[in-house]
Amino acid sequence: MGRNRLRVENTEDQWEIDEEWWRIRPTSRAYYDVLLEDGQTLTIFRDAVSGKWYQQRYE
């Protein structure tokens, strides 16, 4: 997710989505709302297909 690392103080919420399982590249993710040591709250997710972590961006 980047080079800056901050400790997760708490997991505020957790949920999973599994969509379009019939496609070649289905969407399967585990989401977490986390509170970081600096007070930020972020939504991050792990893509179960690739195994990579991402930060959810809201616009």
For the whole prediction, is pTM greater than 0.85? no
What pLDDT, on a 0 to 100 scale, did the predictor assign at position 40? 93
At residue 2, the pLDDT reads 58
Q: What is the pLDDT of residue 58?
A: 82
What is the 3-class SS of 6-53, one letter each residue?
Answer: CCEEEEEEEEEEEECCCCCCCEEEEEEEEEECCCCEEEEEEECCCCCE
Q: What is the pLDDT of residue 59?
A: 80
Q: Which residues of the chain have pLDDT under 70?
A: 1-3
Given this model, what pLDDT does residue 47 score? Answer: 95
